[in-house]
Structure 1
Amino acid sequence: RGQLEEVILASPHRTKPLCPVYHLCGGCQLQHIAYEKQLEMKKGIVENALDRIGNQKIKALPTIGMKDPWRYRNKGYFQINQEKGRVQLGFYKAGSYDFVPANGCVLFSLQINRLVGYLEDQLSLQKVAVYDHKTGKGNLRNILIRESKSAAEIMIVFFTKEDNLGFDQNVLNDLVRTFPQVVSIYQNINRSPKAVLLGKDFRLLKGKSDLEDALGPFKFKISPQSFFQVNAVQAEILNEKVLEYANLSGEETVIDSYCGTATISIY
């Protein structure tokens, strides 16, 4: 895989990434390209895959973009780092385990970014022992934050190696007072030395067992393990297009054999 060394003559489609850590973080790959050009490129990727793999020379329809392609993401798995006693939430650099602090990520809402900063402050004050994958020492492994855009609710999951959280229960009490949108807090215990995310043991620590989110007229209950489209705005548009092109009469039987929370089949 090639690495950019120097830009001699920039493409007219090249643009300045909105995210300050875009070139380090592994989360996004196309922010340096103007959005309209991104949509065009994605259309080409679909056509190329159909031709190369399926031997089907098909012209894809134009990609349907977003009016505002920022702050749409409703779920984030945050890696955790500890630097000179300071707890940081972020992501791994592309293709590595090098940590990149990502408070201020432009794919998440301002509310989630404020919550990330708050958690960093409180966990640092608590002197939380962050898990080290190399040594197997420490306790707090990851943090999951899910946000319901329709109900304005937030769920947090703390992933730990041990049964104990490793910090005072009052941290959770203060958290929900400061962020009343946080309506569900879980702990997931993962004792595996391997870099697997989920353990089998989920414990509800505070609040509701599920979030509620909506796609169109339908409401869904979302648990910590649930698969739900991370971009609910585009998922709704996708579902409407499926209905439009399927042109169902109501007499058909449709099987959704790998459905997650069954958003498409219910829609």
Structure 2
Amino acid sequence: MKHCVFDKKCGGCEYIHVPYEEQLAAKKKYVQDLFPDHTAEDVIGMKDPYHYRHKVYASFYLDRKGKMHAGLYQEHSHKRIDSVMCLIQNKTANDILHEMCVLAETMKIPVYDEDRGTGVLRHAYIRVSEATGNILLVIVIGGKSLPSSRNFVKALTEKFPKIRSVVLNYNHERTSMVLGRKEDILYGKGYITDSIGGIDFRISSRSFYQVNPLQTEVLYAKALELADLKESDTVLDACCGIGTITLLAAKQCRYAYGVEINPQAIRDAIENAKQNNIRNVYFKADDAGHFITSMKEKPDVIIMDPPRSGMSEEFLDTACRMKPSRMVYVSCNPETQARDAAYLLKRGYHISRIIPVDNFPFTKHVETVCCLYHQKNDFISVPYEPKDADYLKQLK
């Protein structure tokens, strides 16, 4: 095992001292205890559990000697620690953070002071494409402009040629939120692309995209395996984000619907469908519970990938009344997943498999895929297409 220099200071990795096989065993027990009447399968782990985070945030600050650092807040604290040697963050991202500190000191770019609300350089947000190695760098400032911005960006992109886009984000709010509302593109197109299951996905500063792309591909492959899609199936992907699972499912079914409350995520989903020339999909920015009640066609399969809070009872109730033959529940919080699964079990569904996937080595977190099926699928699926105007407007 590698030694973490932030041991007992950071608090982000609860299992940093635990051998990896023991971590997987502990996570399996955690999931199994939540589903005592069913069998949780072995956790699917990583071959190399280090440096898996391809989404990296850091806050800039000065130490007591006036030296600049890029780091994270300690757990339950306002104190920050340098994170450029973090064992779970992407190595190149760590190197970029270190170089940003060196350049900022050389170019005398002032660090933002959280307490006084003064200064410039505030945060960095880095996304790395697993498929290409390309990098999106978002520089967050607390001032009106970034001094020496052209030279700063030029120096970074020359040292790290995989940086394909640099975005300047303005955050003047006295808040813990990293990103502000306004952005300017300083270099490149403002986004990079990554690939999952042969489909390219656009990643911008605000795109929701999993932090561990290698395990995400495993997770989604298992979800689709459990969905057991047929060419005649209609699929509803609830909480679809940027359309990742929706578009993967669309390659295997007749039609796929994706619903997501975040309008920006839906815009990204539509763009991803266009870029991949996938036309048997329809995306809607809406609450999943509201959307499912308005569907003209009853889905054969429902796939859910909700936030940690889980699915609403309104959605689950309507889903049960539609009686899809299969429901696949992907979760980053097995506790709310177990709660929702218990509700579905009372409504006539049965659990066939529970598969945990380790997307977050060295932490207590684990993703799980649970497949539920209905023994008597007693409805007739009536073909329905969205209005031509809506469909064509999305895919022009």
TM superposition score category, shorter chain reference = 0.7 to 0.9
- Correspondence 1:62-211 to 2 at 5 A: 62-83=42-63, 84-211=65-192
Matched, 1:236 2:223: no
Between the aligned partners of 1:97 and 1:50, the Cα distance in structure 2 is: 37
Q: By how many angstroms is 1:22 displaced?
A: 2.9
What percentage of residue pairs aligned between the two structures are identical? 33
The CA deviation at 1:224 is 0.7
CA–CA distance in structure 2, aligned partners of residues 163 and 48 of structure 1: 52
Asked if the contact 1:105/1:113 (under 8 Å) is kept, the reply is yes
Q: Secondary structure at the match of 1:170?
A: helix
Aligned residues: 247
Q: What is the RMSD of the two structures over their aligned residues, measured on CA atoms?
A: 1.6
Matches within 5 A, 1:214-225: 214-225=195-206
How far apart, in 2, do the equivalents of 1:122 and 1:158 lie? 13
Task: Report the TM-score, using the length of structure 1 for normalisation.
Answer: 0.87
Partner residue, 1:10: none
Question: How far, CA to CA, are the matches of 2:69 and 2:47 in structure 1?
Answer: 32
Larger Rg: 2
Report SS of the residue matched to 2:138. strand
* 1:160-203 deviations in Å (ceiling 9; x for gaps): 12220134421111211111111100011111112222211111
1:50 positional shift = 4.3
Partners of 1:152 and 1:181 within 8 A in 2: yes
The 8 Å contact of residues 154 and 211 in structure 1, kept in 2 or not, is answered as yes
2: CA distance, partners of 1:62 / 1:255: 28
Q: TM-score, normalised by structure 2?
A: 0.60
Stretch of structure 1 that moved more, 23-32 or 204-213: 23-32
The Cα shift of 1:27 comes to: 2.5
**Match for residue 13 of structure 2?**
28
Unaligned runs of 5+ in 2: 249-396
One-letter amino acid of the counterpart of residue 61, structure 1: E
Greater percentage in helix: 2
Q: How does 1:38-53 map to 2 (within 5 A)?
A: 38-50=23-35
1:252 and 2:233 matched: yes
| C-alpha distance in 1 between matches for 2:31 and 2:148 | 48
Could you tell me how far apart the structure 1 residues matched to 2:95 and 2:177 are? 27
Measure the CA separation in 2 of the matches of 1:40 and 1:68: 17
Specify every segment of 5 or more residues in structure 1 that has no aligned partner in the other structure, as ranges: 1-15, 52-56
**Deviation for aligned residue 1:112:** 2.1
1:127 Cα deviation after fit? 2.3
Q: Report which structure shows greater RCO (CA 8 Å, sep ≥6).
A: 2
State the distance in 2 between where 1:22 and 1:202 align: 36
Name the SS for the 2:53 alignment partner.
coil
- For 2:241 and 2:73, the matched residues in 1 are separated by 26
Match of 1:4 in 2: none
Could you tell me how far 1:120 is from its partner in structure 2? 1.4
CA distance in 2, matches of 1:163, 1:233: 38
Q: CA deviation at 1:87?
A: 1.5
Amino acid at match of 1:25: C
1:37 corresponds in structure 2 to: 22
Work out whether residues 70 and 101 of structure 2, in 8 Å CA contact, stay in contact via their aligned partners in 1.
yes
Q: Structure 1 residues 197, 50: closer, same or farther in 2, change over 3 A?
A: farther
- 1:33-60 deviation digits (Å, cap 9, x = unpaired): 1111111111222233446xxxxx3331
